[in-house]
Amino acid sequence: MLDSVEIIFRTFTSFILLWVFVQLLGKQTIAQRTYHLYIASITMGTIAGNLAFNIKIKFLYFIIAISIMGSIVFMLNLVAVRNHRFRKWIAGEPATLIEKGQILEESMERMGYSLDSLKQALRGKGIFNIDEVECAILEVNGSLSVLKKPQYQNTTKQDLSLRPTAENIPVELVYDGNILYENLTKHTYDEEWLMAELKKRNLTVHDISYAVVGTKGNLYIDLFHDQID
């Protein structure tokens, strides 16, 4: 019975210590974005797991081990943030696998990354033809960042030199039962058009809490609560 009580106490303690560890080191610990955080997560989990049920080892030893490991990781984080020279040794650095459309075989071999692994990662990005890739970088956390060649990139409004206009921006026309005449005068709508739209719905301005005209010219209306029955 005493052993069961001790295991319960150890389990709660291990959870609290891990929670404090994650809180101190931040969300990047959960994502395991760097080498030392990956190692620390495994080690701290192992120590906490043993603390929870391995009653043959003294409780104090686990506390010392988890405190030392937490301190080491905290210090490594500080060094990685403040010293660029040591950052790549502590946290690692990204590796370029494809540059200017060419696969860098030396970089692939150095990272132990096979062509099949590269193709699989590209398929995960929705790219089934490796010739579409301009640049591919293997990040420290193991994810692959990809830049497509210009001819395969999605077209944006900037590419088409398009700018937002009054015709494709929703316009608020009525608020709290009052017409916003300033918005009417700034756009292609007028009071006559608004009244005609309200008449179709058997409504007056005083019935409306909020009215906005959408990008396609449709009028969307929100009535006062006492009008909704």
pLDDT digits (tens, 9 = 90+) for 1-36: 467 788 888 888 888 887 887 777 665 555 556 667
CA nearest to 91, candidates 29, 20, 27, 145: 29
* C-alpha triplet 67, 72, 77: angle, nearest 5°: 125
Spatial contact of 50 and 99, defined as CB atoms under 8 Å apart? no
pLDDT at res. 143: 83
Q: What pTM does this model have?
A: 0.51
Q: How far is CA 209 from the centre of its chain?
A: 36
pLDDT at res. 1: 43
pLDDT at res. 229: 45
